[in-house]
A and B are shown apart, each in its own frame.
Chain A
């Protein structure tokens, strides 16, 4: 059950692009055509699905405080978590190199159309972000970590697919010249992010506050927002019950 919950949470509620803005650079650069966007999205899903569990194993058995206990009881106080950045990025760079070799062998046309962006997946914030969020949220098991990786990848894939489709169409709209290209993409992405916020009540049924992890939050505003959200939900429930009675 918690797998399904985590899966949907990482696709819609904690969407890598719309909730935490990871992977924006390649998201903006590769989204001009749907076909390249699909290729890059698939590559990202694969890399995330492999690196998040690998890094989970690294974190669990080498990096965490007390993780080295399996070597011997005298290692129990070692906390190597400060090495997380280097080790995570090393696994990611290796996996991306592997993906590059595989793609070059099996689909040379995709390899050519992706160009420089395939090796750039290694420095895609989404990949490192997936591992870092996995670490900071302390995901408890390997299977859950894999679910999280796959889900985050699918979320990113959805986002880049959507914006590529929109950008293809929007080329024929009359947008003010200074906004053309990059500017309108930012604004459209912002609007899509607002849309994705509507998934916030998906897993809790709207009866209670979904446990959201805001990167930067002001306590005062959170309280105000909570109050406003609760008021809105009370009104919704009141409306719903009126409809049922009618």
Chain B
């Protein structure tokens, strides 16, 4: 990319695989598991985290020299809480159904470890442009995992993607259902998300041997 230096571009691409917030840094697991039963919810959550992490990183980075160290967690919490309130109100105004589906998990973005983790690890020590890139990169890495898990869970669990019946109609037995295929309802339940992320971790560490722990 002509715009970004190599180091800056790495801030965006690293979190995709090598330093993925969910599977490597082990942050942000809670929401990744709970709301991925529908692809739409996963996408909305990913976009919300993108906004909160990007804007939050910039704000904290701009304030980094004036925040006293003793109260920095409280300041971070206030910044994140304010941004999340904005996201929550926007969702309630423009996508009420979706905000009901996501329920309390929009509020739980506040305690999403990725956000506080990146504030502490990056924004407090770096300038606003680089913090913005780091925020975007990590949010995209988080979003990628969310979308992968959401994609498979919705496809295998209810045979739809974003609400569109991709595999045919289960009640009228068209498409794949004509061959006796049944939706795996289990995929929509909580535990499968955990097993799915376990499998993603397995695949990731098989390909990158350096990530294996002893």
Contact = CB atoms under 8 A, between A and B. Distances in A.
B26 interface: yes
A35 interface: no
Interface string A174-218: 001111111111110111011001000000000000000001111
| Best-buried of B28, B108, B158, B183 by chain A (most CB within 10 Å) | B108
Given A122-B73, A186-B197, A85 B214 contact: no
B139 interface: no
A183 B107 contact: no
A85 B212 contact: no
A132 B108 contact: yes
A124 B113 CA distance: 8
B34 A215 contact: yes
Nearest to A124: B111
Q: Which one of B31, B38, B107, B110 has the greatest number of beta carbons of chain A within 10 Å?
A: B107
A184 B62 CA distance: 40
Interface stretch (B84-92, B130-138, B173-181): B84-92
User: Binding site of B, secondary structure by majority: helix, strand, loop or mixed?
Assistant: helix
A183 B190 contact: no
A22 B111 CA distance: 10
30 contacts: A18-B190, A21-B29, A22-B30, A24-B29, A83-B85, A85-B85, A86-B78, A93-B74, A123-B113, A125-B30, A128-B107, A129-B104, A135-B104, A178-B205, A178-B212, A180-B212, A180-B213, A181-B213, A182-B201, A187-B195, A187-B199, A190-B194, A193-B191, A193-B194, A194-B191, A197-B189, A220-B170, A221-B158, A221-B183, A224-B183
Interface of B: 23, 26-31, 33-38, 41, 73-74, 77-78, 81-82, 84-85, 88-89, 101-105, 107-108, 110-113, 116, 157-158, 160, 170, 183, 185, 188-195, 197-199, 201-206, 212-214
Interface of A: 18-25, 28-29, 82-86, 89-90, 93, 119, 122-125, 127-129, 132-133, 135-136, 176-187, 189-191, 193-194, 197, 215-218, 220-221, 224-225, 228
